[in-house]
């Protein structure tokens, strides 16, 4: 095996940004109710002023605010009711000093008025007269035309993952459909002579495939689409043939390595033989995940991940997410970090970034991160994990009680 | 309007648990690759021991650990190679003292051996001999049968929302399908004479519907299914007729109120007239969201939410989520809270739980929560919000720099 320089996570991310900078997915127009969790392919601008007219934010009387100056509980002012605004309808009424027009919440403010006094602060003396007991300032009870948003304002930015409230905002400005990125297409291969698909009986000595399932679900969660998944034998010819079959339709081909010696070489050799530039990351200074391979051929990204489920999950959570986020123009702030305190001492590996799976428990509004240990490859490790913490290369482990930042899985 | 006691959030949740305790959704069996984000309807037990045989966790030689006692770089022990275990295949080899059998990672440990010494710590002298330079303890390099999980162990519990790694674990124990709860069925109505569907031109004075869209998306995010949504006039007859049409197929009917005076009475009257027990919450001590109504009729939950989008979102985030979580048997710990510091002073409303929308920015690995203010009903409020903070009833606001806990929207 050729000795290659092991990269740090930062170096890997930088190389990925360089090699994949021209990678792009097309956009498609979809209905806003189908858009939850999808990613905006362009800025959304408001085509209207919102509100489109001066609107009342309360139930009350539209008046001239100066008619209330100096009024109080003991010294009200008396105003003449000259009309009523109907909900959802235009009004041609005009309010002059000494007059008042009833306006429901959301109703149009009649000309002349510069505020609305809430019905709680008036008393209706008869059909034609109200007494006002509280002063209002100009603008009270009114949301002005364009105060919420102006025509041409950016409402939501390209690269935003659409949330429920965004869908409400889009409908509020009259947008029924929205342009989102198509989902990046990912092919997932798991290599290993002993690995078999989970359905049905297996032969003694065989191991049921975990990685294509876990990685497929991760791809979906990150906003990608799995177009192919398979368990294949880990020899050069088979791997090359299958990758050649899927590479043209894929934005990313993920190969999670079998666990026998020498498989890593096969993956790297296949990538290199498929075209330039081939492998550009061969080994990363992280634990777990050191034998990670990243390359490019035929304008498709190809990842070689470790075979152990925990390692494969962590590496894909780092670099798979970085790749998909890059393709979807998703910015840096797109995953919340949970603050917790370490529930016990946690060791690190000198010279490597260490990723430690943790379970989180809550005690008195305080999260406690408990490291989960177990033999490599154990499934119970990943079902117990709520997330992981990163220990920097130069940090010598973490003390019990120390603050940690947990990335949720 | 009848004066009713305003409940606290805790009281509302308790009443909901009582009234809806017999509410249940059926389960359905689905493929594990369709199960991401769905909720387990029963515990998942392992039908197998995992691993199903003693397996090696490293590439190396299966040996008797006592053959390495006292060895060192300068004083190796020499062992005879008596065979090789093939990946994915059973072996009948037996290791005796002074012997060694090659085993790849994941391979079966031959009888007799109680540990595996990694190839890094041996030197192969010839085809038949290795020198071992490091001692191992019994069990080193081995994961025993059932060590990861035992037949009958609970792998994943009822009420768990399925994560990517869970799908890997399910495939790892040979489960191709899984029993999940069907999605609770929700009908969403928005009432208001001035509210219109967003598509197309609207008349002056009309307002585009936000709530049925935002609430639909929230329901989907929470794991429910929207079976009906409509904007309707806010009169008693229309509302009663539409609710009667949808109530039998729905687990929950959500009515977000129009903004004109008296609509709240209409919603309450419709709920009461549809059957017992009718309205059991009429007003909640929260801001915003005071006029919230919760009731039950014809064995269906019915919510009356405020018409303002921010209020409707917050109330549904609290009580809609509580209802759906209850129907799906989802336990308490199912939403992560972000710790932040307040970016400015935040006021509260005495005697009420105050919910304040905030935007979160990150500075030096520290989240800062900035309150978002704006006139009631403004859409820009909800698109800027990352989440909200809760200020307890008896707390007089929050000081700038104080720790706050943000629930992400």
Phi-psi domain of A141 (left: phi exceeds 0; alpha: psi -120 through 50; beta: other): left
Asked whether the beta carbons of residue B207 and residue A88 sit closer than 8 angstroms, the reply is yes
CA distances from B230 to A403, B37, B239 (A): 48, 27, 11
Asked whether the beta carbons of residue A377 and residue B164 sit closer than 8 angstroms, the reply is no
Asked whether the beta carbons of residue A204 and residue B176 sit closer than 8 angstroms, the reply is no
Select the residue from A36, A45, A172, A214 to test the B interface by mutation, using most B Cβ atoms within 10 A: A172
Task: Give, to the nearest 10 degrees, the angle between helix A211-222 and helix B164-172.
Answer: 160
For residue A316, which of A223, A215, A229, A187 has the smallest C-alpha distance? A215
Whether residue B211 contacts residue B309, with contact meaning beta carbons closer than 8 Å, is answered with: yes
Among chain B residues, the shortest Cα distance to A314 is held by: B165
- Compare CB distances from B104 to A210, A261, A380 and report the shortest one's residue: A261
Among chain A residues, the shortest Cα distance to B195 is held by: A88
Which is higher by pLDDT, B9 or A87? B9
Indicate whether A333 pLDDT > 80.
Answer: no
Indicate whether A228 pLDDT > 50.
Answer: yes
- CB-CB neighbors (< 8 A) of A309 in chain B: 165, 168, 172
pLDDT (0 to 100) of residue B265: 76
pLDDT (0 to 100) of residue B3: 45
- CB-CB neighbors (< 8 A) of A204 in chain B: 52-53, 90
CB contacts < 8 A, A to B, total 287
Pick from A143-147, A361-365, B263-267, B322-326: least confident: B263-267
Which is higher by pLDDT, B197 or A403? A403
Asked whether the beta carbons of residue B217 and residue A258 sit closer than 8 angstroms, the reply is no
Distance from CA of B99 to the nearest CA of A (A): 22
CA dihedral A222, A224, A230, A232 (to 10 degrees): -70
pLDDT (0 to 100) of residue A271: 95
Residue A259 banded pLDDT, cuts 50, 70, 90: very low
For residue A164, which of B215, B253, B402 has the smallest C-alpha distance? B215
- CB-CB neighbors (< 8 A) of A376 in chain B: 57, 143
pLDDT (0 to 100) of residue B2: 47
Asked whether the beta carbons of residue B168 and residue A199 sit closer than 8 angstroms, the reply is no
Extract the tokens encoding B176. Answer: 């191709």
Distance from CA of A47 to the nearest CA of B (A): 12
Residue A261 banded pLDDT, cuts 50, 70, 90: low
For residue B139, which of B52, B58, B49, B78 has the smallest C-alpha distance? B58
pLDDT (0 to 100) of residue B234: 81
Among chain B residues, the shortest Cα distance to A107 is held by: B205
Among chain A residues, the shortest Cα distance to B157 is held by: A383
Among chain A residues, the shortest Cα distance to B340 is held by: A339
Asked whether the beta carbons of residue B208 and residue A52 sit closer than 8 angstroms, the reply is no
* Distance between first and last Cα of chain A: 34
pLDDT (0 to 100) of residue B263: 56
Mean pLDDT of A198-215: 86
pLDDT (0 to 100) of residue B332: 66
Indicate whether A205 pLDDT > 70.
Answer: yes
Mean pLDDT of A332-337: 78
pLDDT digit string (tens) for A284-317?
A: 999 998 889 999 999 999 999 988 888 999 999 9
pLDDT (0 to 100) of residue B377: 64
- Compare CB distances from B214 to A155, A167, A195 and report the shortest one's residue: A167
Q: Which of A34-43, A105-114, A342-351 has the highest mean pLDDT?
A: A34-43
The answer, yes or no, to whether ipTM is higher than 0.85 is: yes
pLDDT (0 to 100) of residue A376: 63
Distance from CA of A277 to the nearest CA of B (A): 31
Select the residue from B48, B56, B156, B172 to test the A interface by mutation, using most A Cβ atoms within 10 A: B172
Asked whether the beta carbons of residue B217 and residue A147 sit closer than 8 angstroms, the reply is no
Residue A3 banded pLDDT, cuts 50, 70, 90: very low
Asked whether the beta carbons of residue A164 and residue B375 sit closer than 8 angstroms, the reply is no
CA distances from B273 to A193, B268, B302, B303 (A): 67, 9, 12, 15
- CB-CB neighbors (< 8 A) of A87 in chain B: 192-194, 205, 258-260
Distance from CA of B313 to the nearest CA of A (A): 8
Report the alpha-carbon distance of residue A325 to residue B296 in Å, rounded: 44
In the block, tokens 């080193």 appear at: B140
Mean pLDDT of A94-98: 97
Q: What is the 3-state secondary structure (H, E, C) of chain B?
A: CCCCCCECHHHHHHHHHHHCCCCCCCEEEEEHHHCCCCEECCCEECCCCECCCCEECCCEEEECHHHHCCCCCCCCEEEEEEEECCCCCCCCCECCCCEEEEECCCCECCECCCEEEEHHHEEEEECCEEEECCCCCCCCCEECCCCCECCCCEEECCCCECCHHHHHHHHHCCCCEEEEECCCEEEEEEECCCEECCCCCCCCCCEECCHHHHHHHHHHHHCCEEEEEEEECCCHHHHHHHHHHHHCCCCEEEEECCCCCCHHHHHHHHHHHHCCCEEEEECECEECCCCCEEEEECCEEEEEECCCHHHHHHHHHHHHHHHHHHHCCCCCCCCCEEEEEECCCECCCCCCEEEEEEEEEEECCEEEEEECCCCCCCHHHHHHCCEEEEECCCCCCECCCCEEEEEEC
- Give pTM, 2 decimals: 0.92
Distance from CA of B41 to the nearest CA of A (A): 17
- Compare CB distances from A174 to B208, B313, B339 and report the shortest one's residue: B208
- Compare CB distances from A168 to B32, B167, B382 and report the shortest one's residue: B382
For residue A109, which of A74, A144, A154 has the smallest C-alpha distance? A144
Asked whether the beta carbons of residue B260 and residue A167 sit closer than 8 angstroms, the reply is no
pLDDT (0 to 100) of residue B259: 46
pLDDT (0 to 100) of residue B397: 92
φ/ψ of A215, rounded to 5, equals: -70, -35
Distance from CA of A92 to the nearest CA of B (A): 12
pLDDT (0 to 100) of residue B167: 96
Select the residue from B1, B38, B87 to test the A interface by mutation, using most A Cβ atoms within 10 A: B87
Name the β-bridge partners of B353: B286
pLDDT (0 to 100) of residue B152: 94
User: Which DSSP string corresponds to A232-294?
Assistant: E--SHHHHHHHHHHHGGG-SEEEEE--SSTTHHHHHHHHHHHHSSSEEEEE-BSEES-TT-EE
Distance from CA of A33 to the nearest CA of B (A): 7
Asked whether the beta carbons of residue A168 and residue B379 sit closer than 8 angstroms, the reply is yes
Name the β-bridge partners of A142: A56
Asked whether the beta carbons of residue A378 and residue B147 sit closer than 8 angstroms, the reply is yes
Among chain A residues, the shortest Cα distance to B167 is held by: A214
pLDDT (0 to 100) of residue B1: 43
Omega of the bond prior to B288 within 30 degrees of 0, cis?
A: yes
pLDDT (0 to 100) of residue B378: 73
pLDDT digit string (tens) for B308-353?
A: 888 999 999 999 999 999 999 998 667 899 999 999 999 998 889 9
Residue ranges of chain B with per-residue pLDDT less than 70: 1-4, 258-264, 332-333, 376-377
Asked whether the beta carbons of residue A148 and residue B90 sit closer than 8 angstroms, the reply is no
Distance from CA of A152 to the nearest CA of B (A): 14
């Amino acid at each position: 095996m050729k000795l290659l320089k092991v990269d740090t996570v930062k170096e890997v991310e930088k190389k990925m940004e360089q090699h994949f900078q021209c990678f792009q997915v097309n956009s498609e127009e979809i209905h806003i109710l189908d858009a939850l969790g999808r990613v905006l392919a362009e800025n959304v601008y408001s085509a209207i002023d919102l509100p489109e007219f001066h609107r009342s934010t309360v139930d009350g009387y539209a008046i001239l605010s100066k008619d209330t100056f100096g009024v109080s509980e003991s010294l009200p002012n008396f105003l003449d009711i000259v009309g009523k605004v109907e909900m959802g309808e235009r009004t041609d009424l005009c309010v002059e000093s000494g007059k008042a027009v009833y306006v429901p919440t959301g109703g149009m403010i009649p000309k002349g008025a510069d505020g609305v006094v809430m019905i709680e602060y008036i008393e209706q003396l008869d059909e034609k007269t109200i007494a006002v007991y509280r002063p209002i300032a100009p603008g009270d009870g009114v949301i002005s035309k364009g105060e919420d948003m102006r025509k041409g304002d950016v409402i939501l930015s390209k690269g935003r993952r659409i949330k429920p409230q965004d869908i409400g905002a889009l409908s509020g400005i009259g947008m029924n459909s929205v342009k989102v990125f198509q989902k990046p297409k990912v092919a997932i291969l798991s290599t290993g002579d002993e690995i078999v698909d989970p359905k049905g009986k297996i032969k003694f000595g065989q191991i049921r495939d975990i990685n294509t399932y876990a990685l497929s679900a991760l791809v979906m969660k990150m906003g990608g689409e799995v177009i192919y998944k398979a368990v294949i034998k880990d020899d050069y010819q088979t791997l090359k043939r299958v990758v050649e079959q899927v590479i043209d339709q894929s934005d990313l081909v993920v190969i999670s390595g079998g666990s026998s010696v020498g498989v890593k070489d096969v993956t790297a050799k296949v990538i290199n033989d498929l075209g330039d530039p081939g492998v550009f990351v061969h080994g990363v200074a992280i634990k777990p995940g050191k034998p990670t391979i990243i390359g490019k051929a035929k304008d498709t990204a190809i990842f070689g991940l470790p075979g152990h489920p925990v390692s494969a999950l962590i590496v894909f959570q780092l670099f798979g997410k970085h790749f998909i986020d890059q393709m979807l123009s998703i910015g840096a702030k797109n995953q919340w970090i949970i603050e917790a305190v370490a529930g016990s001492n946690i060791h690190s590996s000198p010279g490597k970034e260490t990723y430690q799976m943790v379970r989180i428990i809550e005690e008195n509004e305080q999260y406690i991160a408990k490291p989960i240990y177990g033999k490599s490859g154990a499934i119970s490790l990943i079902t117990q994990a709520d997330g992981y913490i990163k220990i920097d290369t130069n940090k010598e482990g973490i003390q019990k009680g120390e603050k940690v930042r947990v990335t949720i899985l």
